[in-house]
Structure 1
Amino acid sequence: MRRVLTALLLTSLLPLIAQAQSYSHTPPGHTGLGGMIGNPSGLSLKVYGTDPASFTAYDFLLAYDLDRFFFFSLHGLYERPLPDSPLNYFLGPGALLGVREGSSHANEMVLGLSANLGINFFTERFEVFLQVTPRLHLIPETEGDIGGGIGLRYYFGSQ
């Protein structure tokens, strides 16, 4: 069911992508707030830096996935335009901290590392993005997981 919903959402966004007057990048210092659906789904905040020598942006996600896992993640992202395209690609390292409901209904703390990679485009004050997030949980036990989704953010400030 989740795959069907994701496919429908992607299909509905294709006309928007095709007609968008896109911007290759959001100006430094801007902040975008929005949401992401997928596995996980949640509230997303992206803050662009002002120093070109550091990460381009910081991506925060407060999310819940279908495995009864509530978590917060932070990624430092490098974002660059794809040549001859209105799209940008982004990638960067991150970390996560969360709480998972255990099999005996006891909650367990989860701490791990993650990476974020994907593509996005901008139209006026909006960013549409598609991302994949491999995660490596280190505490309470070592295990790998892959998440991802599609999202939309609204950017505040003058552009």
Structure 2
Amino acid sequence: MRLLITLLIGTLPLLAQAQSYSHTPPSQTGLGGVIGNPSGLTLKVYGTDRSSFTAYDFLLAYDLDRFFFFNLHGLYERPLPDSPLNYFLGPGVLLGVRERPRDDNEMVLGLSANIGINFFAERFEVFLQLTPRLHLLPGTEGDLGGGIGLRYYFGGR
């Protein structure tokens, strides 16, 4: 997994030289993947009002602790001054199943947040995020996730 992250980070300078940047996504819907803890598939959908940069981020993920879950975040996104980067943050919820080797699997329900930076190059979004999570059911437990990801945006505005 470290090798994949190193390769992805290594491609960022090449993307920087070959692509033009924008603070806005090229379309409303992007699909991609995230590598880290957790790793999974991600879908980001922007609202129709371009000035608000309001987006919803969906994540279907599996972490190394045998935890399969769905995460939904409402994101507030704005450009960083004098930079091709945006920052984003927002609250979310998660619903998951933790696999237990000898016991029954347990359902997990909790709250989360998503904090990170991103940039757009042509039809791609590259992002780095941290995701603190608070599991409320079946018991209270805190967790910190995060990763690096890439999304491809379909169509145009």
TM-score > 0.5 by shorter chain? yes
Structure 1 gap segments, 5+ residues each: none
Q: Which residue of 1 aligns with 2:74?
A: 76
Equivalences for residues 16-55 of structure 1 within 5 A: 16-26=15-25, 30-51=28-49
Q: Alignment length, in residue pairs?
A: 157
Q: 1:130 to 1:33 in 2, by over 3 A?
A: same
Q: CA deviation at 1:156?
A: 1.1
Which TM-score applies when normalising by structure 2? 0.91
Answer whether contact 2:15 2:121 (CA < 8 A) is retained: no
Answer whether contact 1:55 1:76 (CA < 8 A) is retained: no
RMSD: 1.9
Equivalences for residues 1-159 of structure 1 within 5 A: 2-26=1-25, 30-51=28-49, 56-158=54-156
Q: CA deviation at 1:102?
A: 2.1
Q: CA deviation at 1:30?
A: 0.8
Q: 1:55 to 1:24 in 2, by over 3 A?
A: closer
Which TM-score applies when normalising by structure 1? 0.90
Looking at structure 1, the residues matched to 119 and 136 of structure 2 have their Cα atoms a distance apart, in angstroms, of 33
Structure 2 gap segments, 5+ residues each: none
Letter of the aligned partner of 2:144 in structure 1? Answer: I
Looking at structure 1, the residues matched to 13 and 36 of structure 2 have their Cα atoms a distance apart, in angstroms, of 17
SS at match of 2:133: strand
Looking at structure 2, the residues matched to 11 and 52 of structure 1 have their Cα atoms a distance apart, in angstroms, of 31
Q: Identity rate of aligned residues, in percent?
A: 75
SS at match of 1:67: coil
Letter of the aligned partner of 2:102 in structure 1? Answer: S
SS at match of 1:158: coil
Q: 1:140 to 1:53 in 2, by over 3 A?
A: farther
Q: CA deviation at 1:5?
A: 3.8
